[in-house]
A and B are shown apart, each in its own frame.
Chain A
Amino acid sequence: MNIPARGCRRRAIAPRLCHRPVEPVGTERNSGTVTVRRAAAVLLSVLAVAGLAGCRGDDAGELAVTVSRSGCAPEWRTAHGGPRTFQVHNTGINTTEVELIDPGNGAVYAEVENLGPGSTRPMQVTLGRGRYAFRCLPEDTDASTGRTVTVHDGPARGAPAVVPVDEQVLRGSVTRYRRYVTDALPRLRADVSRLRRAVDSGDRAAARRAWLPAHLDYERLGAAYGTFGDLADAIDRLPAGLPDGVHDDGFTGFHRIEYGLWHGESMTALRGPTAALATAVGKLQRTFRTERVDPNDLPLRAHEILEATLQFELTGEADQGSGTTLATARANVTGTEAVVHALRPVLASRYRKLHAADASLSRLAGLLDAQRHGDRWTPVDELSRYDRERLDAATGDTLELLAPIAALAQVRRAR
C-alpha cells in the first residue's frame, strides 16, 4: 500500500528538525536593554491589552501578548483558570514558534507554529490549576521562556499537555522500525523468487499460490504513502493514474502480476513483470540499509497505513482478481502494530489511550482473521452486510485512536 499513484500524501508538516540555533544571543536578551523595537512592541501590546481588557477584563477570555527577541509574552502576569484565548503577536524579525508550557517539565499545552514577523494568531487553551509559561522558539535563535504564571482557581485540570518529543528520542523508535523492515526483507525476497520460478515454469496454479505470501510479505512492512520512494511504485502500484489502466506499460509489480494470473493472460507474458518485480525487491533490500528515514514519518505512519487500507483494500478497489484484499488488510494491521511497537517508548508516557489503540488493533486483526478460510480469504464483495459494516467500523475506530499519535510524537524543538 505504498503507491504514490493512490494519492501520495503531500506532507504539510515542516521538517522542524532543521531549525538550529546559529547565533547565541542569550546575553543580549538578558541584558535588560530596551531597544526602540521593544519599546514599540510594549506600546503596541499595551494598546492591545487596553483595548481588549477595557471591555472584557484581563481574565474574561482574551489577552494580547507579544513575542520578540527581547521578550516572550511579557504582558502575561496573572491568570484565572478556564478557557482563554491569547492573541499572540510577533513584533520581532524572526519567524517564531510560541508554546505555552508547564515550566516544571516542559510539557506543551498549546502552540502557535511559524508565527511570522508582524503577524498575530490566536492561541486557545483551557487553563487548569498549575504553573504556566510562554516559550518562544525563534528561527535561527535560542529559545527563551517567559514569566511563570500560577493559576490557583478554575478547573483542576486544564488542556492536556504533552512533553515534547525531540529527535533523539524518536531516533530510537526509527531504529527499531528499521530493524523490523530489515529483518523482513529476506523473506520477501525469497517468496518473490518462489513466485518467479512458478511463473517461469508456466504453472498458473502454483503461481497463484505463490503470489499471495509474497504480496503479504511486502504489505506487512508497513509501507505507506511513498515510504520506499519510486520502488514502491515498481513493487505495489495500482493501475489508477495510468492512461491505459491495467493495459498500461507502466502497470507493474504485484498487482500487475495478479491481474494477469487471474485474468487468463499467458504465463509467458507475465515473465517480464515478475522479473521486474524481483529486481525491484532486490534493489529495495540493497538500498534500504542506507536510505535515510525521516523520524517524523514514523508517527504519521501509525494511522496512514490503515487510512490506505480503508481506501483501497476494504473498498475492494485494490483487488485485481485474487479477491485477497482482506488478507492485505490483515498484513497492514501487522505493519501498523510494528510501527506502534517501535513508537511505544515515546508513547507510553504521552498517550493515555495507547492501550485502547492496542486493543482496537487486536480486535480488527481478529475480525479479519475470521474471514480467512485456510488459504482462501473472503472477497470484500462477498462479505455479509453486517460483517462488512463491522470491519469498516472497527477500522474507523482504530484510525480514530491511532490518529493522535501523529500529533503526540511529532518532533518538537527543545532548545
Chain B
Amino acid sequence: MSEEPDAARRGTDDDPPDTDDGLPGTDGERTGTDAALPGTDAARPGADGERGDAGAARRGAGGERWPRRQLLTGAIGVGAGAVAGVGGTLGTQRYARAKPAPRPDRIPFHGTHQAGIVDAAPAHTTFVSFDVLADDRAQLRELFATLTDRARFLTSGGTPANPGITAPPDDSGILGPQVPADRLTVTVGVGGSLFDHRYGLADRRPAHLTAMRTFPNDDLDPAWCHGDLSVQFCAPNRDTVIHALRDVTRATRGAMQIRWMIDGFTSPPRPSGTPRNLMGFKDGTANPDTGSAAEMDRVVWVGARQRGEPAWTRGGSYQVVRLIRMRLEFWDRISTSEQELLIGRRRDNGAPLDGTHEFDTPKYAKDPVGSAIPLTSHIRRANPRTARTRSSVLLRRPYNYDRGVDAVGDLDMGLVFVCYQRNLAAQFEAVQTRLIDEPLVDYITPFGGGYFFALPGVADGTDRYGSALLG
C-alpha cells in the first residue's frame, strides 16, 4: 500500500482485479482471515505461485531477508511494514510495473470511502469513543459539519486560522506554526446508541448496528464500551495524532464528550514480513487484498441495494473495535511449543505448523484430526478455510496498546483489534463465535470496545460527514 494507497478507497483501482484464477478465495483456500487475535494466516492473495515473481521472491525469502517487492519499491521502513502488513497487498500487475513510489505528505480526505480503513496502518493511532451531547438534530448536524471542517483541515495541513488578539490561539502549536498533513487519517463512525430517541434517527439505523455483544470469554468494563461516535486518528507520528485529537475535541467542545479512548502503535517487521504483536507472533498476514477495489467491495464496503441496509450506508463499513488485554506474564511462562499450538503457527517466522514459510497455506484437508495444526488452534478456529466459511472473511487493522501497569504489578498491554466488514453478523460475529472457548482465551481478556458504522466518505469540499444520514 505504499503506492497509491487510496486506489481501493476511492474506487478508482485501475489494476486488474486479481490474477488468473478469478476472484480471490474462490478455492476456499486463498483468502483467509483470522479474526480477533494473534492470528496470522498465510493464505492471502499474492502468496501463491500465480503471483509470479512476487510470490516466488517471498517464498524464497522465507522471512529471512527483505522480500523482493520491498527492495524494488524502495519502500523500506514504514513502507516495508505497510507492504507486507495489515493493509497491504498489491496486485502483481502494480508490482511488476513498480516505479519509484511517491509518498505524498497527505492521504486524500475526499473520496467515496473514508481514509484510514483500507490504508495501511501507520505507526500511531488514538481511537476515541465519544458520547454526543447535542440537544437536537440541528446541533448534531452542526457537530458533523464541524468535525468535517476540522478533519479536512488537519488531513490537508496548512496555516491555522489566526484570531489575532481577540482570543487565545486557535491551534495548540505542537506541530509548529504550519500544520503538516503528515499522512493523518481521521475515520468517523456512528454507534448504535446514536439511533435512539434523541435525534429521530431510529428508522435509519444500519441493519446490524447494535450495541456490541458480550461474548462468553469477555470481561467487559462498561466504562470502556460502546459510544455514540468513534473517531480514529492515525499517523506516522504520535504528535500528529495528539494534535488532531486536541484540535477536534476543542472545536467540538460541549457537543460531545470523550467516553473512552486508547492509544495504539504498530511495530516494524521483525525481521521481515508481517509485524508482530505483543505475544511475539506475526499478526495480520491473512487480510484480503486492500489493493483490489473488487475485493474491498466484496468484503468491506456496504454496497448499493445491500439487503436491509438504508441507502445512506452505501460506501460505509461496519467497524468493530475490541480492546483485548493480553496476559503477557502468563504467556511468557509457557513454552514456545505450547504457544505455537495455541496459535497454529511458528513463532519465529510465522509459518503455519504444517508449513515452512510465513506465507505457506495451511492444508487442513490433509490434517483432518489436527495432528499438525490443532483443531482448536486460533488460526484454524478463526478461519477453517472451507467454502462455507469464506463469507466470514473480514479486514483487520489492529494496533498494539500499552496502558501501563495493573493492580498486581503486571503489564496492562494488548491489542486494539479493529476490523471492517459489510455484514457484521456474517463476518465479525461469525468468526468470533467460532473462537468461543478456544484455548487461547486463558491468555487474553477482551475488556472493552464497541460496534460502530464507519460513515461513507466525504465526497468533496461541499460535502460533510453523514450528509446522507442527517440530510
B-contacting 9-mer, from A166-174, A179-187, A402-410 = A402-410
A402 vs B164: C-alpha distance when bound (angstroms) = 17
Given contacts A392-B257, A403-B167, contact A159 B250 (CB under 8 A): no
A385 vs B223: C-alpha distance when bound (angstroms) = 9
Which residues in A have their C-beta under 8 angstroms from that of B256? 393
Given contacts A394-B254, A396-B254, contact A125 B162 (CB under 8 A): yes
Which residues in B have their C-beta under 8 angstroms from that of A110? 162, 164-165
B430 CB–A CB distance under 8 Å = no
Given contacts A386-B131, A389-B131, A393-B133, contact A109 B164 (CB under 8 A): yes
Given contacts A125-B164, A404-B167, contact A397 B131 (CB under 8 A): no
Which residues in A have their C-beta under 8 angstroms from that of B255? 393, 397
B22 CB–A CB distance under 8 Å = no
A400 CB–B CB distance under 8 Å = yes
B68 CB–A CB distance under 8 Å = no
| CB <8 Å contact, B164 and A400 | no
A264 vs B167: C-alpha distance when bound (angstroms) = 48
| CB <8 Å contact, B166 and A393 | no
Min Cβ gap A367→B in Å is 11
A385 vs B224: C-alpha distance when bound (angstroms) = 12
Q: Is the interface of A mostly helix, strand, loop or mixed?
A: helix
Counting chain A residues whose Cβ lies within 8 A of the other chain, the interface size class is: 20 to 34
B327 CB–A CB distance under 8 Å = no
| CB <8 Å contact, A111 and B165 | yes
Given contacts A389-B133, A404-B168, A407-B168, contact A126 B257 (CB under 8 A): no
B253 CB–A CB distance under 8 Å = yes
A400 vs B256: C-alpha distance when bound (angstroms) = 14
B216 CB–A CB distance under 8 Å = no
Interface string of A147-177 (1 = CB under 8 A from B): 0000000000001111000000000000000
| CB <8 Å contact, B257 and A160 | no
| CB <8 Å contact, B162 and A108 | no
| CB <8 Å contact, A162 and B166 | yes
A83 CB–B CB distance under 8 Å = yes
A403 vs B169: C-alpha distance when bound (angstroms) = 11
Restricting to A380-399, which residues have a CB under 8 Å from any CB of B? 385-386, 389-390, 392-394, 396-399
A124 CB–B CB distance under 8 Å = yes
Given contacts A389-B131, A393-B133, A407-B167, contact A124 B254 (CB under 8 A): no
The 10 closest A-B pairs by CB, nearest first: A397-B254, A404-B167, A389-B257, A159-B164, A396-B253, A393-B257, A393-B133, A160-B166, A400-B253, A393-B254
8 contacts between A and B (CB under 8 A): A124-B159, A162-B164, A389-B133, A390-B257, A404-B166, A404-B168, A406-B168, A407-B167
Q: Enumerate chain A interface residues (CB-CB to B < 8 A).
A: 83, 108-111, 122, 124-126, 159-162, 360, 385-386, 389-390, 392-394, 396-400, 403-404, 406-408
